Amino acid sequence: MTLDPDTLEASASRYETVQPLATVEAEHREMLPETFASGEYGWRDLEWVVQWYFRRFLGAYPNATRRRVEGVFGENDYEDVHHALSRAVEAETTERKLDVLCELTGIGCSLASAYLQYLEPGRYLVMSPAEWAVLEAAGELAEPYPADPNVSGYDRYLETCRNIATRGATDLWTVYRALWLEWYEGLGGPDPRTLE
């Protein structure tokens, strides 16, 4: 498998026909950056990102894990989440953005990366075992998904995705759609073992 410009374009262009969440993702990519930056949002907006992180796998993510994380996230006070997100918006470095989001109950580096994608979709990309597995299979990352994802792992992942985007003269969202489709169709995609 290679992630050359033709593969990126072909896979990304088919994404909307395979991913039933594509329309709502596009709506939220348009809406959430400004909404989060303004501070004018409700609990549903905050919760949507967590739900999206798991549900984009179309049932492949272990249901018990998904429910547990969504439940734990729900234990956060709205004010605490609002404060963390405001600090993430204001933070100047990726490390600081991830750190303040990871202070929340139930949020690790991978789930925090989903918030970064919807805070600044032109700059950040969500990270999970699915996208990482495609990059590893393509020889873009040398090691498997970390057992305990952290900032340095995310930095390595993001730099790899940005390099692929640069080589393909495209954007991160195109890279994401191509990675997701390659995972879903090429790596046995809804096998939950690829996400554990």
- CA–CA dist 87, 147 (Å, integer): 27
pLDDT for 192 equals 45
Q: Please state, in angstroms and as integers, the Cα–Cα distance from residue 152 to each residue in 53, 91, 132, 157, following that order.
A: 20, 17, 14, 9
- Per-residue pLDDT tens for 151-163? 999 999 999 999 9
Domain layout of the chain by residue ranges: 5-194
Query: The tokens of 195 are what?
Result: 């996400």
- Per-residue pLDDT tens for 177-192? 999 999 999 876 655 4
DSSP 183: I
pLDDT for 196 equals 46
Q: How many CB atoms lie within 10 A of CB 31?
A: 13
pLDDT for 182 equals 92
DSSP 146: P
Regions in the chain scoring below 50 on pLDDT? 192-193, 196
